Amino acid sequence: MSFGLGFPLQKNLLKLFKQEEIISCFLYVNTLSKKEVSCISKKNVVEELVNENIRFKEVMVITADGEQLGVMSRRDALAKAYESNLDLFCVAPTGNPPVCKIVDYGRFRFEQQKKTKEAKKKQHVTEMKNVRLSPVIDKHDFDTKMRQARGWASEGMKVKVDMRFRGRMMTRIEVGKQVMNQFIKDISDVAGVEKSPSLEGNTMSVVLTPKKK
More confident residue, 114 or 23: 114
CA distances 125 to 115, 145, 157, 200, Å, are: 18, 24, 9, 26
- pLDDT at 4 (0 to 100): 45
Please give the Cα distance from 3 to 68 (Å, whole number): 28
- pLDDT at 17 (0 to 100): 33
Indicate whether 125 pLDDT > 90.
no
Q: Go through the domains of the chain in sequence order and give each one's CATH number.
A: 7-120 (3.10.20.80), 128-210 (3.30.110.10)
More confident residue, 120 or 75: 75
pTM (two decimals): 0.43
| Confidence band, pLDDT 50/70/90 cuts, at residue 36 | very low
Indicate whether 128 pLDDT > 50.
yes
Per-residue pLDDT tens for 52-74?
888 888 988 988 887 888 898 98
Report the chain's mean pLDDT, rounded to a whole number: 77
| Confidence band, pLDDT 50/70/90 cuts, at residue 213 | low
Q: What is the DSSP string of 146-193?
A: HHHHHHHHHTT-EEEEEEE--GGGGGGHHHHHHHHHHHHHHTTTTEEE
Cα 143 to chain center, whole Å?
A: 38
